[in-house]
Amino acid sequence: MKIEFRKVPQTAKEFETEFNSVKLEGTFCKISPSLIKISAKMSGTTEIECCRCGKTEEYTLNEELDFLLSDGIFNKESDDLVIEIENNTIDFDEIIQNEIASLQSEYHYCSECETSTEAYEKEF
């Protein structure tokens, strides 16, 4: 699903998008001429590789995602997560794919390694 930046309404509008077995649903609205606020929830399952043994494990997602989209260079100092978009178009499919990719690139231990790491820490 794609929407042009200038067509985003100021009142919250619902969206829903899916990628493989992950679903992203929530609302979006324009909060300033160059900023759009997204409040969403990511759910479903995805495969994540263990960074210790390389085994792939199914991971259940249940993440709240709140972030801002800017249609240009964002200069304001802010604690909020701001993502710059290209071509003045919001692409929800791209957002969900990027979120999954960033999750998969994080350090993740499979359940086995997590247990053995805990045991290791207790031993020493």
Based on the shown chain and the rule CB under 5 A, indicate whether residue 103 belongs to the binding site for Zn ion.
Answer: no
Q: Taking a C-beta distance cutoff of 8 angstroms, is the pair 43, 59 a contact?
A: no
CA distance 61 to 72: 30
Based on the shown chain and the rule CB under 5 A, indicate whether residue 110 belongs to the binding site for Zn ion.
Answer: yes
Kindly tell me which of 90 and 110 has the beta carbon lying closer to Zn ion.
110
DSSP state at residue 21: T
Query: From the list 8, 36, 42, 113, which residue makes contact with Zn ion (rule: CB under 5 A)?
Result: 113
Residue ranges in 24-63 that form contacts with Zn ion under rule CB under 5 A:
50, 52-53, 55
CA distance 52 to 44: 24
Based on the shown chain and the rule CB under 5 A, indicate whether residue 108 belongs to the binding site for Zn ion.
Answer: no
Kindly tell me which of 12 and 50 has the beta carbon lying closer to Zn ion.
50
* Site for Zn ion, rule CB under 5 A: 50, 52-53, 55, 110, 113
